[in-house]
């Protein structure tokens, strides 16, 4: 990079985020140069590394991409872009081959064929995995090793991005700072192409299976720059977060239910009995609501692996076993206490089939993006697949632009509001905790108009009243506002969006949402004005 005091120019594309989507895009761009920006050392704090289930791909002779696409559409509750679902399913096998070539150690049977497991709402065993629940970590390790040995990729660790740089209506770079220093003056990193792969919104919720520092920053900064946002109200809650006092909530993989684990209450009765014909393997939103309602009535929920796995759980699902043992639970001998936890965001920065956003010069992939694949309720293990497919597409599309002339200079971001009296860091931490509690309470598994209005008022109060309104916090409140405002507008229940005051799907309602932050803020201000 060339540099002066406040401006640096990247060679090639800038990739914001170093999870699976960002690293795979960098590898696919090679030998074209690119720069990957990561707030933490590679592999730390990436949601991808925590993915337990694996990657969905129709590889078995009896399966097909068409059947995979069909299951994706059914799970998405009428909100899936069917053309996207077909194309992603058709590319799945090629992306698995890519990972095998770089050393991903997927499980195989005695004859050397890839082992595949069954997860909820899949009609076939089609999830490739590693040691039961180690797929995310193993794939990330393979990607990191490949990135480290690829000379065209430059990785900058310890760098956070809070703002996109705009010049003449197009994204021309990012404003970056040293990670951990919220009020450092930003440096402009210029690039002809910016790929946003900054993760989801899990850290906006007090109960989440995601790294708590992944807080909707990418969604918020793109929205503040004017990007069109898709389906922000569709948030997926995993039914089986392990109910222990940890932040984030440890996850009991859905693959456990694929192996026959049962969901039982405090009396040993099966919670899903009479709720759905697929019982434990019903779509995630159905299972999550059933557990949420049982717990809300004062009951307890457990995942029972004793008969289905017994002592084998330690070898076949080592991550889950370790989480349980840390909490004093022996999953081979006693049921695992569980509760629904925020797990995935189907919404995000709206993209087309090439990963292009509504802002020229900006692409998005991974959980920060809304491609139309997931609809209202993501099919299990489609998330890593989507990240791989769109990262590969974006790498090809963006590489052409990244080779063009240098971008025009961008104006600086607006100045921060001066800190008020008191301890600004403490105040910011308190505000983040309050925001997370609000989102879990009022924009969680089940929502209603009263709670959503209360959430919007509280988000506004926190944004206006925090002594140090850092750009990082503004990104959080922007993302939270988009989710809550879109949820308030959608007066029906569909997939991961459940309105207890509108419990049925509305056939007349558009299944998908397109919204800008400007519109979401108008809704928020209207709610605040009404009191």
335 assigned to some structural domain = yes
Whether 415 has a pLDDT exceeding 70, the answer reads: no
Length of the chain: 531
Whether 2 has a pLDDT exceeding 80, the answer reads: no
pLDDT of residue 213: 86
Q: Which two tokens stand for residue 413?
A: 């971001």
CA angle (503 as vertex; 81, 78 as ends), nearest 5: 10
Burial class of residue 449 in the structure, from the number of CB atoms within 10 Å of its CB (0-12 exposed, 13-18 middle, 19+ buried):
middle
Task: Count CA atoms within 13 Å of residue 113 on its CB side.
Answer: 8
User: What does the pLDDT average to over 64-81?
Assistant: 96
The count of structural domains within the chain is: 2
User: What does the pLDDT average to over 426-435?
Assistant: 85
pLDDT of residue 1: 45
Taking the model in full, what pTM does it have?
Answer: 0.93
CATH code assigned at 295: 3.90.700.10
Instruction: Look at phi and psi of residue 418 and say left if phi exceeds 0, alpha if psi is from -120 to 50, else beta.
Output: beta
pLDDT of residue 33: 95
The residue with greater pLDDT, 404 or 498, is 498
List the beta bridge partners of residue 362.
Answer: 194
pLDDT of residue 419: 45
465 assigned to some structural domain = yes
pLDDT of residue 332: 96
CATH code assigned at 445: 1.20.58.100
Catalytic, 270? Answer no
Whether 421 has a pLDDT exceeding 80, the answer reads: no
For residue 495, the enclosing domain spans: 424-530
List the beta bridge partners of residue 264.
Answer: 270, 302
458 assigned to some structural domain = yes
450 assigned to some structural domain = yes
CA angle (89 as vertex; 88, 92 as ends), nearest 5: 85
pLDDT digits (tens, 9 = 90+) for 465-521: 875 557 889 999 999 999 999 999 999 999 999 999 999 999 999 999 999 999 999
Q: Which has the closest alpha carbon to 287: 322, 338, 248?
A: 338
The whole-angstrom separation of Cα 54 and Cα 95 is: 13
pLDDT of residue 90: 98
The residue with greater pLDDT, 394 or 120, is 394
User: What does the pLDDT average to over 350-365?
Assistant: 98
pLDDT of residue 7: 82
325 assigned to some structural domain = yes
Q: Which has the closest alpha carbon to 288: 266, 303, 306?
A: 303
Last residue of a domain, one of 288, 315, 341: 341
pLDDT digits (tens, 9 = 90+) for 318-337: 889 999 999 999 999 999 99
Whether 84 has a pLDDT exceeding 90, the answer reads: yes
pLDDT of residue 186: 84
pLDDT digits (tens, 9 = 90+) for 365-377: 999 999 999 999 9
pLDDT digits (tens, 9 = 90+) for 195-253: 999 999 999 999 999 988 899 999 999 999 999 999 999 999 999 999 999 999 999 98
Out of 95, 284, 393, 490, pick the active-site residue. 284
User: What does the pLDDT average to over 270-284?
Assistant: 92
366 assigned to some structural domain = no
Band of the pLDDT at 418, cuts 50, 70, 90? very low
Band of the pLDDT at 87, cuts 50, 70, 90? very high
Report the mean per-residue pLDDT for the chain: 91
Q: Which has the closest alpha carbon to 55: 83, 89, 22?
A: 89
71: helix, strand or coil: helix
429 and 522 in a single domain? The answer is yes
Range in 182-191, 414-423, 436-445 with the lowest mean pLDDT? 414-423
- Do residues 121 and 75 make contact, with C-beta atoms less than 8 angstroms apart? yes
The whole-angstrom separation of Cα 405 and Cα 138 is: 38
The whole-angstrom separation of Cα 362 and Cα 170 is: 8
Band of the pLDDT at 117, cuts 50, 70, 90? confident
Whether 54 has a pLDDT exceeding 60, the answer reads: yes
350 assigned to some structural domain = no
The CA R_g of the chain, rounded to the nearest whole Å, is: 22
Angle subtended by helix axes 449-465 and 517-530, to nearest 10: 100
pLDDT of residue 420: 45
pLDDT of residue 182: 64
Last residue of a domain, one of 341, 359, 377: 341
Last residue of a domain, one of 341, 365, 399: 341
pLDDT of residue 468: 53
The whole-angstrom separation of Cα 194 and Cα 164 is: 9
Whether 32 has a pLDDT exceeding 50, the answer reads: yes
Separation of CA 165 from chain center: 24
pLDDT of residue 244: 93
91 assigned to some structural domain = no
């Amino acid at each position: 990079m060339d540099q002066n005091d406040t401006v640096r120019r990247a060679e090639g594309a800038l990739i914001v985020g170093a999870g699976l989507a960002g690293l795979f895009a960098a590898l696919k761009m090679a030998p074209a140069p690119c720069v990957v920006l990561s707030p933490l050392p590679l592999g730390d704090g990436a949601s991808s590394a925590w993915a337990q289930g694996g990657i969905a791909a129709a590889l078995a002779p009896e399966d097909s991409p068409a059947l995979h696409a069909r299951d994706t559409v059914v799970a998405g509750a009428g909100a899936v872009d069917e053309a996207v679902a077909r194309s992603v399913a058709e590319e799945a096998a090629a992306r698995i081959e890519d990972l095998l070539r770089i050393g991903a150690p997927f499980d195989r049977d005695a004859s050397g064929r890839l082992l595949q497991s069954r997860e909820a709402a899949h009609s076939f065993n089609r999830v490739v995995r590693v040691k039961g629940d180690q797929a995310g970590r193993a794939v990330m390790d393979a990607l990191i090793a490949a990135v480290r040995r690829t000379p065209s990729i430059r990785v900058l660790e310890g760098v956070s991005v809070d703002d996109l740089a705009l010049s003449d209506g197009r994204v021309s770079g990012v404003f970056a700072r040293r990670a951990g220093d919220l009020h450092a003056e930003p440096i402009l990193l210029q690039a002809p192409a910016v790929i946003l792969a900054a993760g989801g919104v899990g850290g906006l919720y007090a109960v989440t299976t995601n790294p708590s520092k992944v807080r909707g920053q990418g969604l918020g900064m793109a929205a503040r720059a004017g990007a069109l946002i898709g389906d922000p109200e569709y948030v997926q809650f995993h039914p089986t977060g392990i109910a222990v006092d940890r932040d984030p909530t440890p996850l009991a993989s859905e693959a456990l239910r694929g192996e026959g684990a049962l969901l039982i209450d405090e009396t040993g009765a099966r919670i899903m009995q009479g709720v759905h014909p697929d019982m434990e393997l019903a779509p995630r939103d159905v299972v999550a609501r059933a557990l949420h309602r049982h717990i809300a009535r004062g009951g307890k929920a457990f995942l029972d692996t004793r008969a289905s796995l017994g002592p084998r759980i330690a070898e076949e699902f080592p991550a889950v076993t370790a989480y349980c043992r840390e909490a004093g639970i022996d999953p081979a001998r006693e049921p695992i206490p569980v509760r629904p936890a925020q797990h995935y965001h189907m919404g995000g920065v709206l993209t087309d089939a090439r990963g292009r956003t509504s802002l020229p010069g900006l692409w998005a992939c991974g959980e920060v993006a809304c491609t139309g694949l997931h609809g209202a309720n993501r099919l299990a293990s489609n998330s890593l697949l989507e990240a791989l497919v769109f990262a590969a597409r974006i790498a090809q599309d963006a590489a052409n632009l990244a080779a063009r002339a240098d971008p025009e200079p961008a104006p600086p971001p607006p100045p921060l509001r001066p800190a008020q009296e008191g301890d600004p860091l403490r105040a910011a931490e308190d505000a983040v905790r309050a925001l997370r509690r609000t989102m879990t309470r009022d924009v969680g598994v089940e929502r209603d108009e009263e709670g959503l209005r209360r959430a919007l008022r509280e988000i506004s109060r926190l944004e206006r009243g925090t002594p140090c309104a850092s750009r990082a916090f503004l990104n959080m409140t922007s993302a939270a506002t988009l989710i809550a405002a879109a949820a308030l507008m959608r007066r029906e229940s569909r997939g991961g969006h459940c309105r207890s005051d509108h419990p049925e799907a509305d056939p007349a309602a558009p299944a998908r949402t397109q919204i800008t932050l400007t519109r979401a803020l108008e809704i928020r201000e209207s709610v605040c004005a009404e009191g």
